[in-house]
C-alpha cells in the first residue's frame, strides 16, 4: 500500500527536478518556411482542398483550405511530400495551426457541415511520388478546434499530436476533410532531443527524446568519479534525475561546470567537492594546482597527520626531572615538567629508561624494576617506579615524543640519578602447601617483592593448632627462624588443622615488618598414609575404581546434558567447562531480610570514606548524583571508581532502597556485571562505590560513535551482555529492565550489565510507564507476557536482550521510534516486529526475531544466545549477508493527504535537525531541493546522492521514515 504514494512522490520529484534547459526541436517539415513549393497532392484534384495565397505583413503566406459545407459525402484529402525520418528518432511531433468556421454561420448548410478534420499517416521506405492510395494511411487523430470562427476575426487554433512508433525511412501525412470549412495555416513536423549539457561536473551528449532513456556521461576535465555519471532524458526532451558524483581532482576545485586549479597559496588534498584551502600553518606557500603544501624547514608532519594539518616541530626535552621516594618499600615517583617547546602538537608522550650505574659502567635495569603505568607512551608527566633495590644508583632518562619527534636532530631527554634507601621489609603474600603427611607439612611462601640484595634477611614462621570449638589454645605458638622461604615441619598430630603465619626480617637495621594472615593447613589422617604405604598392592584397585568412577561421572554428565537440552532449567551449556558444572549459588532477594541492614552487612564491604575522593559529576540517578572518583587501594595505588550518592533529605525507606542495589550487586561476580567495590553506610552521606566505566551508558556511547564501530565489534559487545545475562539467569536473577541505557561500557569497550535497583519495577527508569495493572514497565523493552500479567522471567529478559541487540545494531536508535507505547503494544500483539536495522547482518537479525517469539518457551535461553554469538564471532564471513532493510516494509502506512510535510521549511533545515548538514551541497547538487523530493527518496537514492557512510545513510533513511510517519496511522513491522 505504500507503493502508490512513493510512485506519486517520485513522479513529483521527477517533475520538480526538471532542469531548466529546454528541449531542442529538429524540424523535418515546416509548411510556412516552404512557401509555395509545397508540392502537396490533393484528392480530388478539384473542389477539394485548395492552396490559397494570402499577404500577411507584406509577405506571402500559403494555406490549404476547403469549405464544402453544404454537400454531403465529402472526402477531401491533401497529402504532404515524403518526410524523411531521422534514424535515431522513432517519435515525431506534428504541430498544426488552423481555423474552422462555425457551422451555425452557414444556416441551412449546418445539417451537412462539420467542424473537425482528420490527421493520417503512412510510413514508407521510399518516396512513392504521386502515387497516393488512401488505404495505406492510418488515422492518427481527429483534429477539433478549441474555438470556431464566427465573425470576421479568425480564431487560430494550435494542436500538437505525437506520432509513435515510426520505423520506416520516412512517412507522409494527410489531412482528410469530411465537410468542414477549414483553413490549414501551418504544419510543422519535428522531433525532440535533450540538448548536450554539463551537470555537476559531468558532460552528457545530446540525446534523442523518444522514451525515458538513461544516458551515461563523462566527468569534465580534471574531475573523476567512482561510478559512471548517469541522467535520464525524458520523451519530452528534458533531463531529469542526475546521478552524478564527479569530483575535482586533488589540486582542483569546482567552479560552475569545470574544475580549476587551486590558486597559489591554496591546496586541495583529495578528489572531493571541497574548495581549495589556504595552506596550513608552518608550510611553504604552494604553487597553483597544489594537492598539498610542503612543510617549512624544521617543521614536519607525522605519517598519521592529514595533509590539512599544520606542520609541527619536534618537542624539546622534558624539564625539572625529580624523584621522590614514595614509601619505605621500594617505590619512587619520577616527575617532570612538560617541554617548553611542544612543537604545536597535542600528542605528546614520554618514555622512561632506567640504568643501574656504578663508577665504571651502566647496565639497563631490564625487567627487575616495574613502571606502574608502563615505561612508554606515558601521557602524564610522571610515573611510579617500583621493585627498586636500595643502594643501587639508578639513572632514569625521560624522553619526550610526539608524532614528529623522529625528525628531531636531537633526542629530547632529561636524566636523573637517584639512590633509593629503604628499610621496609617485604611482606609474605601467601603460603603454599607443597606436601603433607599425617605428622608433617611442607610449606613455602611468596613475597610482595624481592628482599634487597645487599641486606641479609630471614623468616620467622609461627604456627599453632587451630582452635577446636570450646578449646582455646591461642598462646601456644611455635616459632621457627628460617633462612629459606620453605620448610618441612614434623612431629605434628595427624588429621589436625594448624594455622601458619610468616614474617620477613631484615637485619641488622630492619624496620619491623608485619606477619602474614593466618593460613590453615591440615595434616593427613593415618589411614590415608597407610594406603600410601602400600602403593603397589592398592594401585590396581585405585586405578580400577577411578576408571569406573570416571565412566559413571561421564555417563551422568551425558545424561544430564541430554536432559538439559530437552527441557528448560539446569545448566544448558553443551560444553563441560568447570565453570558450568560448578553449581552457582542462587541470588538472595534482600527483601527477604526483615532488617535490610543485615543484607547489606552480609553481601557488601563497608568502605572508609577517607579512602575515596569524588572528582566530577558524571550522571544523575534516581537517588542522587553519580561521581567519577578515586579510591585508594592498599598496594595498588589508586583505582578509578564511580560513586553513587544519596541526595540530602532522604527518608529511611529511600536510604534502604538506595542501598538495596548494593546488596544485590554485591552478590554478583562476573566480568560482564558491574563490580561493586563497596558501600559507605556508617556515615551521614551513604554512597555506593562501583568500578568506573569510562565510556558511560551504552545507548549514549553508541549514539556518539555512530558508524565508527564495525559489526564485528558490536557483536563482541552483545556477546558480553549476553554472558552477563546468562550469569544472572543462572543465579535465578531476573533483571526486568535490561536496556542499552542500563549497560555500561569501559575503555576496552567491554559491556557490563548494571542497574539493579530494588525499587524495580521501575521507579527510577524514565521509560517506566504505569500499566493498567499498576507498576511501571518500560514498554518498548518488555515482553508481552510481562506487560500483560507481570510474568517476569529470564525468558522476558531474553526479549529485552533482543531489543538491546536492535539498539546496538541501530547505534542507539530508539526502538519503535516515535510510536506511542500504546501503538507499540498493539503492533506487537498483531505480530509485527521491529525491522532489521540498516546494514545489520542477517544472522543477528534472525536471533533478534527468535528473542521476540510470542511464546516465551520458544525463545532461546541466554546460554543458547552466548553460543550463537560465539559461533558468529568465530566465523566473521557469516556476518556478510545483510538483512533486508526495506523502508517500504518498515515504514508506517502513508496517508492519502499527499507528500506535504510542514515540519521543515527547507532541506538544509531538515538536514541540520539530524546533524547531517555536511550533505547540504550533495542534496542540492542532486536536485533534492524540497521536502517533497526528500520524501520521495529511496535508500539507493541516498547512496547515489553521495552519502556513503552506513550510519549516515541509516540516519537519513530513518529520518525520512519519521517524516513519513507524521502523516501515518499505523505502523507496519512485517515479520
Ligand atoms: P544510574 O543511577 O545507575 O542509572 O546512573 C546514572 C548515570 O551515571 C548512568 O547513566 C551513567 O552515565 C553514569 N554511571 C553510573 N554508573 C557508572 C559507572 N560505574 N561508570 C561510569 N558511569 C556510570
Distance CA 117, CA 235 (A): 27
Q: For domain 890-969, is the CATH number 3.50.50.60?
A: no
The residue that leads in pLDDT, 937 or 793, is 793
Ligand 1 lined by 692 (C-beta under 6 Å): yes
Q: Between 961 and 363, where is the model more confident?
A: 363
| pLDDT band (50, 70, 90) for residue 2 | very low
pLDDT of 774 above 90: no
617 CA from centroid of ligand 1 (Å): 10
Average pLDDT, the chain: 81
Q: What pLDDT, in 10s, does the model give residues 449-461? A: 766 655 677 888 9
- Ligand 1 binding pocket includes 695 (Cβ within 6 Å): no
Mean pLDDT, rounded, for 116-145: 93
Question: What class is the 590-691 domain?
Answer: alpha beta
What is the reported pLDDT for 55? 75
Same fold, 197-248 and 319-419: yes
Domain 698-879 CATH assignment equals 3.30.70.100: no
Residue-range domain boundaries for the chain: 4-193, 197-248, 319-419, 428-529, 590-691, 698-879, 890-969
What is the pLDDT confidence band of residue 184, given thresholds at 50, 70 and 90?
A: very high
- pLDDT number for residue 420: 65
Counting every residue written for the chain, the total comes to 975
Most ligand 1 atoms within 8 A of CB, residue of 620, 642, 690, 760 to mutate: 642
Percentages helix, strand, coil for the chain (3-state, rounded to 5) are 25, 30, 45
What is the architecture, at CATH level 2, of domain 4-193? Sandwich (2.60)
Contact of 289 with 261, CB cutoff 8 Å: yes
In this prediction, residue 473 carries a pLDDT of 46
Question: What pairing do the DSSP bridges indicate for beta strands 50-56 and 59-67?
Answer: antiparallel
**pLDDT level of residue 949 (50, 70, 90 thresholds):** confident
Closest CA to 478 of 467, 494, 489, 469: 489
pLDDT at 453: 59
- Write the residue with the smallest CA distance to atom 7 of ligand 1: 619
CB 754 near ligand 1, within 6 Å? yes
pLDDT, position 294: 95
CATH code, residues 428-529:
2.60.40.10
Residue 807 annotated as lining a ligand binding site: no
Q: Mean of the pLDDT values across residues 397-415?
A: 81
Least confident residue range of 240-254, 520-534, 681-695, 866-880: 520-534
Instruction: Report the distance separating Cα 629 and Cα 627, nearest Å.
Output: 6
For residue 158, the tally of other CB atoms under 10 A from its CB is 13
Catalytic-labelled residue, pool 737, 765, 797, 864: 737
Q: CA nearest 668: which of 629, 726, 612?
A: 726
Average pLDDT (311-331) is 81
Residue 440: the pLDDT is 92
Does residue 6 register a pLDDT over 50?
Answer: no
CA–centroid distance, 952 to ligand 1, in Å, is 28
Q: Evaluate if residue 902 carries a pLDDT over 60.
A: no
626 among the known binding-site residues?
yes
Rounded to 5°, the CA angle 103-108-114 comes to 30
Percent of the chain with pLDDT over 90: 42
- The predicted pLDDT at position 297 comes to 92
What is the average pLDDT across 831-853? 92
Q: How far is the CA of 502 from the centre of ligand 1 (A)?
A: 43
To the query of whether residue 737 is one of the catalytic residues in this protein, the response is yes
Taking only the tens place, the pLDDT of each residue in 288-300 is 999 999 999 999 9
Give me the pLDDT at residue 536, please: 36
Residue 15's pLDDT is 33
How far apart are the C-alpha atoms of 96 and 76, rounded to whole Å? 18
- pLDDT confidence tier of residue 721, bands split at 50, 70 and 90: very high
- Ligand 1 pocket: which of 628, 696, 704, 812 to mutate (most atoms within 8 A of CB): 696
Q: Higher confidence at residue 482 or residue 611?
A: 611
Answer CATH for 319-419 from 3.40.30.10, 3.90.1150.10, 3.40.50.10320, 2.60.40.10 = 2.60.40.10
Tens digits of residue pLDDT in 209-225: 988 889 999 999 999 99
User: Is 25 assigned a ligand-binding role in the annotation?
Assistant: no
Does pTM surpass 0.95? no
CB of 690 closer than 6 angstroms to any ligand 1 atom: yes
916-928 exposure pattern, b = at least 16 Cβ within 10 A, e = fewer: beebeebbebbbb
Lowest mean pLDDT among 36-40, 47-51, 109-113, 559-563: 559-563
Residue 583 is predicted with a pLDDT of 39
Segment 189-212, tens digit of pLDDT: 999 999 999 988 999 999 999 888
9 pLDDT tier (thresholds 50, 70, 90): very low
Q: Tell me which fold the domain 197-248 belongs to.
A: Immunoglobulin-like (2.60.40)
Amino acid at each position: 500500500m505504500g507503493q502508490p504514494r512513493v510512485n506519486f512522490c517520485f513522479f513529483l520529484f521527477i517533475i520538480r527536478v526538471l532542469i531548466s534547459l529546454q528541449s531542442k526541436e529538429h524540424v523535418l517539415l515546416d509548411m510556412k518556411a516552404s512557401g509555395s513549393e509545397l508540392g502537396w497532392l490533393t484528392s480530388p484534384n478539384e473542389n477539394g482542398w485548395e492552396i490559397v495565397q494570402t499577404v500577411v505583413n507584406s509577405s506571402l503566406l500559403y494555406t490549404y483550405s476547403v469549405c464544402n459545407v453544404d454537400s454531403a459525402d465529402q472526402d477531401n484529402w491533401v497529402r504532404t511530400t515524403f518526410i524523411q525520418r531521422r534514424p535515431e528518432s522513432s517519435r515525431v511531433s506534428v504541430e498544426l495551426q488552423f481555423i474552422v468556421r462555425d457551422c451555425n454561420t452557414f444556416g441551412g448548410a449546418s445539417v451537412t457541415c462539420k467542424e473537425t478534420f482528420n490527421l493520417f499517416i503512412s510510413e514508407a521506405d521510399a518516396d512513392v511520388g504521386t502515387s497516393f492510395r488512401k488505404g495505406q494511411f492510418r488515422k492518427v487523430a481527429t483534429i477539433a478546434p478549441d474555438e470556431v470562427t464566427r465573425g470576421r476575426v479568425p480564431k487560430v487554433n494550435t494542436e500538437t499530436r505525437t506520432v509513435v512508433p515510426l520505423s520506416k525511412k520516412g512517412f507522409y501525412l494527410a489531412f482528410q476533410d469530411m465537410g468542414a470549412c477549414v483553413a490549414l495555416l501551418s504544419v510543422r513536423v519535428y522531433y525532440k532531443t535533450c540538448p548536450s549539457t554539463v551537470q555537476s561536473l559531468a558532460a552528457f551528449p545530446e540525446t534523442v527524446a523518444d522514451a525515458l532513456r538513461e544516458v551515461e556521461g563523462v566527468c569534465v576535465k580534471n574531475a573523476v568519479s567512482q561510478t559512471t555519471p548517469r541522467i535520464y532524458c525524458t520523451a519530452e526532451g528534458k533531463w531529469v534525475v542526475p546521478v552524478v558524483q564527479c569530483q575535482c581532482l586533488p589540486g582542483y576545485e569546482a567552479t560552475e561546470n569545470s574544475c580549476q586549479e587551486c590558486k597559489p597559496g591554496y591546496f586541495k588534498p583529495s578528489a572531493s567537492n571541497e574548495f581549495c584551502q589556504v595552506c596550513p600553518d608552518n608550510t611553504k606557500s604552494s604553487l597553483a594546482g597544489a594537492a598539498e603544501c610542503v612543510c617549512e624547514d624544521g617543521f614536519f608532519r607525522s605519517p598519521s597527520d592529514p595533509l590539512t594539518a599544520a606542520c609541527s616541530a619536534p618537542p624539546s626535552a622534558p624539564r625539572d626531572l625529580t624523584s621522590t621516594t614514595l614509601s619505605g618499600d621500594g617505590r619512587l615517583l619520577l616527575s617532570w615538567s612538560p617541554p617548553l617547546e611542544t612543537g604545536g602538537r597535542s600528542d605528546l608522550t614520554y618514555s622512561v629508561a632506567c640504568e643501574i650505574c656504578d663508577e665504571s659502567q651502566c647496565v639497563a635495569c631490564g625487567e627487575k624494576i616495574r613502571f606502574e603505568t608502563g615505561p612508554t607512551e606515558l601521557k602524564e608527566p610522571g610515573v611510579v617506579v617500583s621493585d627498586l633495590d636500595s643502594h643501587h644508583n639508578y639513572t632514569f632518562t625521560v624522553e619526550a615524543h610526539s608524532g614528529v619527534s623522529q625528525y628531531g636532530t636531537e633526542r629530547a631527554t632529561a636524566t636523573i640519578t637517584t639512590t633509593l634507601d629503604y628499610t621496609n621489609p617485604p611482606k609474605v603474600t601467601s603460603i603454599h602447601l607443597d606436601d603433607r603427611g599425617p605428622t608433617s607439612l611442607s610449606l613455602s611462601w611468596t613475597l610482595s617483592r624481592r628482599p634487597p640484595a645487599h641486606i641479609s634477611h630471614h623468616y620467622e614462621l609461627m604456627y599453632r593448632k587451630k582452635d577446636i570449638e570450646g578449646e582455646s589454645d591461642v598462646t601456644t605458638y611455635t616459632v621457627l627462624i628460617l633462612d629459606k622461604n620453605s620448610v618441612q615441619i614434623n612431629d605434628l598430630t595427624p588429621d589436625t588443622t594448624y594455622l601458619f603465619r610468616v614474617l620477613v626480617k631484615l637485619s641488622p637495621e630492619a624496620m619491623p615488618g608485619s606477619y602474614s594472615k593466618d593460613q590453615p593447613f591440615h595434616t593427613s589422617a593415618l589411614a590415608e598414609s597407610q594406603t600410601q604405604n602400600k602403593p603397589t598392592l592398592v594401585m590396581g584397585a585405585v586405578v580400577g575404581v577411578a576408571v569406573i568412577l570416571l565412566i559413571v561421572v561421564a555417563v551422568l554428565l551425558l545424561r544430564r546434558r541430554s536432559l538439559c537440552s530437552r527441557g528448560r532449567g539446569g545448566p544448558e551449556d553443551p560444553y563441560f567447562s568447570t565453570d558450568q558444572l560448578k553449581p552457582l549459588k542462587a541470588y538472595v532477594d534482600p527483601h527477604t531480610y526483615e532488617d535490610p541492614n543485615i543484607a547489606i552487612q552480609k553481601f557488601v564491604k563497608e568502605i572508609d570514606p577517607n579512602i575515596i575522593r569524588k572528582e566530577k559529576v558524571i550522571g544523575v540517578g534516581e537517588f542522587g548524583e553519580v561521581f567519577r572518583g578515586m579510591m585508594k587501594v592498599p598496594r595498588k595505588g589508586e583505582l578509578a571508581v564511580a560513586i553513587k550518592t544519596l541526595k540530602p533529605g532522604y527518608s529511611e525507606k529511600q536510604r534502604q532502597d538506595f542501598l538495596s542495589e548494593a546488596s544485590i550487586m554485591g552478590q554478583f561476580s562476573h566480568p560482564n556485571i558491574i563490580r561493586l567495590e563497596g558501600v559507605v553506610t556508617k556515615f551521614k552521606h551513604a554512597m555506593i562505590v562501583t568500578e568506573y566505566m569510562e565510556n558511560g551508558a551504552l545507548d549514549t556511547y553508541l549514539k556518539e560513535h555512530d558508524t565508527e564501530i564495525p559489526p564485528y565489534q558490536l557483536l563482541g559487545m552483545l556477546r558480553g551482555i549476553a554472558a552477563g545475562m546468562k550469569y544472572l539467569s543462572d543465579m535465578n536473577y531476573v533483571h526486568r529492565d535490561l536496556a542499552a541505557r542500563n549497560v555500561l561500557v569501559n575503555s576496552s569497550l567491554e559491556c557490563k550489565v548494571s542497574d539493579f535497583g530494588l525499587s524495580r519495577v521501575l521507579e527510577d527508569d524514565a521509560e517506566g510507564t504505569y500499566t493498567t495493572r499498576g507498576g511501571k514497565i518500560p514498554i518498548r523493552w518488555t515482553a508481552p507476557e510481562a506487560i500483560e500479567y507481570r510474568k517476569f522471567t529470564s525468558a522476558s529478559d531474553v526479549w529485552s536482550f533482543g531489543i538491546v541487540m536492535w539498539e546496538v545494531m541501530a547505534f542507539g536508535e530508539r526502538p519503535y521510534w516515535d510510536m506511542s507505547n500504546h501503538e507499540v503494544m498493539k503492533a506487537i500483539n498483531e505480530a509485527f516486529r521491529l525491522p532489521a536495522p540498516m546494514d545489520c547482518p542477517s544472522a543477528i537479525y534472525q536471533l533478534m526475531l527468535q528473542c521476540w517469539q510470542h511464546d516465551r518457551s520458544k525463545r532461546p535461553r541466554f546460554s543458547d544466545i552466548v553460543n550463537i554469538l560465539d559461533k558468529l564471532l568465530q566465523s566473521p564471513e557469516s556476518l556478510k549477508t545483510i538483512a533486508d532493510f526495506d523502508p517500504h516494509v518498515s515504514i508506517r502506512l502513508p496517508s492519502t493527504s499527499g507528500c506535504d510535510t510542514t515540519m521543515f521549511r527547507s532541506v538544509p533545515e531538515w538536514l541540520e535537525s539530524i546533524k547531517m548538514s555536511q550533505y547540504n551541497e550533495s542534496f542540492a547538487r542532486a536536485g533534492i531541493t524540497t521536502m517533497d523530493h526528500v520524501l520521495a527518496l529511496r535508500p539507493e537514492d541516498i547512496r547515489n546522492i553521495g552519502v556513503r557512510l552506513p550510519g549516515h545513510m541509516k540516519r537519513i533513511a530513518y529520518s525520512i521514515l519519521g517524516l513519513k510517519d507524521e502523516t501515518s496511522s499505523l505502523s507496519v513491522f512485517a515479520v
